[in-house]
Amino acid sequence: MEPSSGKSSPLRNILVRMLLFGVFILLLRFVYVVTVTGGSCTADDFCFFSGPENINFAGAGVRRGSSAVAVAGVGSSNSALRDLWTSKEWRKNVDFYSSVFQDLISEGFLSPNSKALCVETPTGQDEFALKEIGVSDAIGISKKASPPLVKFGKAFRQPFDDNTFDFVFSGGGEIDRSVQPAGFASEIGRTLKPEGFLVVHTSSAKDMYSFNSFLGLFNCCRLVRSRDIEGPDSTIREIVLKKDIEILGHGEENPDGFSVNNKCSVPGHKQELVRNAEPLIAEEPLKPWITLKRNIKNIKYLPSMADISFKKKYVYVDVGARSYGSSIGSWFRKQYPKQNKTFEIYAIEADKAFHDEYKLKKGINLLPYAAWVRNETLLFEINRDPGQKIEAKGRGMGRIQPVKSSTGLASDVNKIQGFDFANWLKNTVSEKDFVVMKMDVEGTEFDLIPRLFETGAICLIDEIFLECHYNRWQRCCPGERSSKYEKSYGQCLELFNSLRDSGVLVHQWW
């Protein structure tokens, strides 16, 4: 006898199929939530359960932290960003930063409660790592926004109030590439809270000169520690600074940069450069016009010995510039190693014969006066060697001194304005700048150099190329010395030695 329930089989099949269809819909919805929204489930997602917010599906495995919230904010329309966040390269860099930040937490420089800022972070890997290890109140800025992690903001013009952050991080060597490192440092000093910590990763600052230049930018902070660490691709320098409670000011400095008595002391890292410089020519050359000119091949330029990054600006001052081709065009612009830095150029030349030429040269600031020890009117004397005609190899050299008819030298005399060069220098540059000076002033160096020491302005100059004028042997007249200058070669050598003994990197110029 057949069971009577056979009539209900079609109804049962329909119910089973509906149930299976409902399960399929729920499964499809679950797959969508996991793969597209990063695992988050809101009230509008039609979920039967809510997963923990700290699960992160962005990497290879499950990680704790709040980074999943950021990943969840990327919809299906931003697949390129999702691909970036799940790439091996991204994961490698995030793991590196996570390790760095965990070390900083263990050392007390960072905490989960810190309000943190990542500066110039193009894709936000460092911010991502901070959130992943539990520092939820973290934000990243860059000159190009990359939502939802990175917001628009320039390092040297941050969109935040003063004393906003407990912790600031600059990674990836971004400060090395900054076109305004001083502004970069000043803004960090403004937005970092007192007693807050700044951590910088840099590929520079490996020699003492550049390291001290770096520290000089951050007058807001004191050094806590500096060490080399292995980065994702190479060794980098990690520098930790702490903002002092009382500071001089963000981007401010003493108007003179010196003590009340205007004295300064050359720091040890500059003195080390002097010890590594080429030796001075101790014995008077018989043919100085050959020996001194050849000496340029032996010169050890400062940028060839140290990294000149982390300076506020770069300045070249040519004192006694004469024509453009005399040294600016023929030597400084073509031969001086600038490390791809752009220099402000000042040409100081009292001789009116060269002034019109500079009007046609872009990027050069002409000071049509005589560098002197005070502001006063002077007599400018054009001197030529015996037998030299005006047409022969151009105009003679100019000296600022009274005319002496007894010298027997042909002379052209004009009244010119002299200015206090040391005072001008102190008003034009600061110790945060990189300053190169060439001086060829026909004997006035014996007045100007002591004045630079007296005022402390000598400490503003990083490198000097000095031509010292003495009664050298004449090229035209064998066995005869020049009567234009009273100083001897020994006195010139004393001047060079006094500069180097004081820690000033000076080279003999011709």
- Looking at the structure, do residues 221 and 145 belong to the same domain, yes or no? yes
- Looking at the structure, do residues 111 and 205 belong to the same domain, yes or no? yes
Residue with tokens 């990243």: 140
- Looking at the structure, do residues 362 and 456 belong to the same domain, yes or no? yes
157/163 Cα distance (integer angstroms): 14
Domain count along the chain: 2
220/186 Cα distance (integer angstroms): 8
Domain holding 180, by residue range, is 79-243
Question: Within a domain: residue 252?
Answer: no
- Looking at the structure, do residues 153 and 233 belong to the same domain, yes or no? yes
pLDDT string in tens for the chain (510-residue length): 444 445 557 777 777 778 877 777 777 666 555 444 444 444 444 444 343 333 343 333 334 444 444 455 555 456 777 777 788 998 999 999 999 999 999 999 999 999 999 999 988 999 999 999 999 999 999 998 888 889 998 888 999 999 999 999 999 888 888 888 889 999 999 999 999 999 999 998 889 999 999 999 998 999 999 999 999 888 999 999 999 886 544 344 444 444 445 667 788 888 899 999 999 999 988 887 788 778 888 999 999 999 999 999 999 999 999 999 999 999 999 999 999 999 999 999 999 999 999 999 999 999 999 999 999 999 877 665 444 444 334 454 555 654 344 444 445 567 899 999 999 999 999 999 999 999 999 899 999 999 999 999 999 999 999 999 998 777 777 777 777 788 999 999 999 999 999 999 999 987
- Looking at the structure, do residues 153 and 300 belong to the same domain, yes or no? no
**CATH number, position 130:** 3.40.50.150
350-389 residues labelled b (16+ CB within 10 A) or e (exposed): bbeebeebbeeeeebebbebbbbbeeeebbbbbbbbeeee
- Looking at the structure, do residues 232 and 354 belong to the same domain, yes or no? no
Question: Within a domain: residue 319?
Answer: yes
Question: Within a domain: residue 8?
Answer: no
- Looking at the structure, do residues 484 and 350 belong to the same domain, yes or no? yes
DSSP secondary structure code for residue 247 in this structure: -
